[in-house]
Amino acid sequence: MTMNMSRADAERWYAARSLTDLGQLTAAWLEGELESQPGYVPGNGPDEETNELVPILAAVNRAGYLTMCSQPATSRSSATTAGPGRSERPSTGSSTPTLPRIS
């Protein structure tokens, strides 16, 4: 198995010059338009557990909040309890100054 992304994907990621560019590329990767994302094995999209989150993750990436390593909440004891039968998971990401105006 090779750990190198395709030349086409590498060129798109290398051309990114802003957080907005990275958000657009991350959305494209989430939706399967790009085969690779830096730090991930090429040809592997989001984990199966994340599939239901893809539409909202793609939307927030396009809106200016760059998501990284997103996962759905679980009911495991390692999650933070958010009420009866619910839990939450911390989010990791970066945002542009535009995001507070559109949220």
Answer yes or no: is 75 within a domain: yes
How large is the angle between the packed helices 19-30 and 7-15, nearest 10 degrees? 150
The tens digit of pLDDT for each residue in 37-93 reads 888 888 888 888 888 889 989 999 998 888 887 766 665 544 454 555 555 555 556
Burial class of residue 5, CB neighbours in 10 A (0-12, 13-18, 19+): buried
Answer yes or no: is 25 within a domain: yes
Answer yes or no: is 47 within a domain: yes
Q: Judging by DSSP bridges, how do beta strands 65-67 and 80-81 pair with one another?
A: unpaired
Answer yes or no: is 8 within a domain: no
Answer yes or no: is 11 within a domain: no
pTM as predicted = 0.72
Task: Give the DSSP letter string of 20-36.
Answer: HHHHHHHHHHHTTSSS-
Answer yes or no: is 39 within a domain: yes
The tally of domains found in the chain comes to: 1
Joined tokens for residue 55: 């539409």
